[in-house]
Amino acid sequence: MRLLMDPVEEIKSRLPIEELVGQYRQLTKKGRNFVCLCPFHNDTHPSMVVSPDKGIAFCFACNTGGDIFSFYQSIEGVDFRQAIKDLAERTGVELPQALPVAKESKDEKERLRSCLEEALTFFRGQLTKSEKAKLYLHDRKIPAEQIEQFALGYAPDSFSATYEHLLKAGFSKSEIIKAGLGVQKDLKEGKIYDRFRNRLIFPIHDARGQLAGFGGRTLGEDDAKYINSSEGPLYNKSEILYGLHHAKEALREKKTVLMVEGYFDVLACHRVGIANVVAVSGTALTEKHVRMIKRSCETVTLCLDQDRAGKDAAERAFYLCNAAGLLVQSVRIPQKDPDEAANTAPELLRQLLTDGGVPYIVHVMEELREKGISSVAEKRDALRRLLPLINAVPSAVEQGGYVAEAALLLGTTETALREDMRSAEAPVKEPDAVPERQASEGAKVFSCAEIALGLFLLYPQHRLLLDQLIEPIDGFAAALYAALREIPADQKDVAVHALNLSDTDRERASILLLYCEQHEFGRWSDALALREIRNNCAHANQQLLKQKQREITQKLVQARSEGKRAEEENLSNQYYQLLKLAKISMEGIR
């Protein structure tokens, strides 16, 4: 009788990663690996590395990829369940009735989602009891039907009310932290306090409409007006667009998405009958957001705040969306944002949003014209802003129209303007990084802690130096740190497949090793490896301690404002301990 293989592993054995990627891109052999143009961003030279040995395809330019399932999910826009069905059909693997679930433990993800749902029930119940929160929503002109539609809630003004409620509901300390609802309060005692306190709560859903996290708007005097759930297995801010699941039907119908800046702006647009609206959630627009939009839309209409930050965000959105082949429009409204416009001039807002605005570059020219362009300095500033925008337009016909309009605006000829455009096309090349420093600079893809742990995988003879790295708090780094700790001291070789890691973390560890391989960290001398390990451990410790200092500073300010002397003294002591640790860790940085 043939032993039944796990279907995930059987599909992997029948479909090499290079064969799958080769169906979408032309592969070129490079040493032990292959390279190709990345299908996930506007790549001009081969950025994706395909490793047959590791079963990984990953682009370190846009930080996208993984094993065959992750790659297929990203390129086809499906979830793991659909990916395994599709790839099983391609490879002829017979699936059991009960399909394997996503690489992140199904039980864990279901528990975390249940934890979020229990928290949402708690927050919604608290809203009905809070006169302050209800008055705030009334003042913001949020009607009862929108409170229900968007499931708004309230996190009470307490350090532990939500945490204690979730504990009583049967969730563990670890689950509450991983769900992004609790924060570790003290390095030594391990106390937990509520992430959301005295805040109006906005549930945040993923593209499938499943609860992924929360956003919170303070109803007090907190420095941070808005905060979001921490990154975790369910919430990834670079893949979340607030309001997307409410907008899906309208997006498919109109093929246009309206992009606004905040939660209240999304609600405002719905109030005036505009449903094809989304907002980024706790971050700037990313390439992943743009890929999500492109699945159902051809046009992006920007209606962001009129301040400097809003204008910078609009420009970034233009470059990302334009590179993906999306048409980018812009709507100007007289008010600060759609929320204010919906409350003061709802009919005007509805009309402006329905009309769809003007092309973004035309919008920029209108702004410049109103500002006035007469002096040499003003013309230089206008050129600096316009030329990169026009150069980014791929269509020669469309670009020609903008050139003619810009020349008229600037009082020059099209020929002179095109000469300036050619000069602006060649960006100044940044100097190459010094090879010995590449490990630390890898923090753009991996944190210093993760790089240090990757070096321990490459140089297991130095594992005793693991004591020099402060234990990471959560995420992949914490899991890999714990797995390395479990390896017997006398074991010489360390293989990723043998580490006690979840499938998701094991995949991430393989990507980390591929990164190290691409940067030739494994070819270092033993002395250089030792130095880089110590250097990255020290940098990682510094980053962790600075994060803790910021957290304690916020608590200190709150304790002082509330007159809690004992708590203030305790936090002050913790802060000075961290300062001492930070000074010690600095000594490890060369």
For 386-398, write each residue's pLDDT tens digit: 988 998 888 889 8
Kindly tell me if the per-residue pLDDT of 557 is higher than 80: no
Residue 2 lies in a domain: no
**What are residue 301's DSSP bridge partners?**
258, 329
Q: Does 226 share its domain with 251?
A: no
Residue 1 lies in a domain: no
For residues 540-561, give the mean pLDDT: 80
Asked if residue 142 and residue 31 are part of one domain, the reply reads no
Q: Look at residue 49 in the predicted model and tell me its pLDDT.
A: 95
Q: In the prediction, which pLDDT does 263 show? A: 96
Task: Please compute the mean of the pLDDT values over residues 556-570 and round it to a whole number.
Answer: 78
Note the residue count of the chain.
590
**Predicted pLDDT at 431:** 31
Pair 52, 79 in one domain:
yes
For the ranges 225-239, 338-352, 476-490, 563-577, which has the lowest average pLDDT?
Answer: 563-577
DSSP, collapsed to helix, strand or coil, labels residue 180 as coil
Output the average pLDDT for the chain: 86
pLDDT band at residue 583, thresholds of 50, 70 and 90? Answer: low
Last residue of a domain, one of 235, 258, 292: 235
Residues 295 and 321 in one domain: yes
Joined tokens for residue 56: 């990984």
Question: Containing domain of residue 158, as a range?
Answer: 106-235
Q: How many percent of the chain have pLDDT more than 70? A: 90
0.95 cut: is pTM over it? Answer: no
pLDDT band at 561 (very low <50, low <70, confident <90, very high): confident
Same domain, 120 and 144: yes
Q: In this structure, how many other beta carbons lie within 10 angstroms of the beta carbon of residue 584?
A: 12
**Angle, CA 278 vertex, CA 276 and CA 282 arms, to 5°:** 175
Confidence of residue 318 (pLDDT cuts 50, 70, 90): very high
pLDDT of residue 452 exceeding 80, the answer is yes
With b meaning 16 or more CB within 10 Å and e meaning fewer, what string describes 287-311?
bbbbbbbbebbebbbbbbbbeeebe
The CATH number given to whatever domain includes residue 214 is 3.90.980.10
Among 12-16, 375-379, 473-477, the range of highest mean pLDDT: 12-16
Find the range with the poorest average confidence among 27-41, 294-308, 416-430, 480-494.
416-430
Higher pLDDT, 378 or 135: 135
Taking the C-alpha atoms of residue 267 and residue 146, their distance in angstroms, rounded to an integer, is 7
Whether 430 is in a domain gets the answer: no
Say if 444 falls within a structural domain: yes
Q: Which two tokens stand for residue 44?
A: 């001009």
User: End of a domain among 235, 264, 296?
Assistant: 235
Q: What total of structural domains would you count in the chain?
A: 4
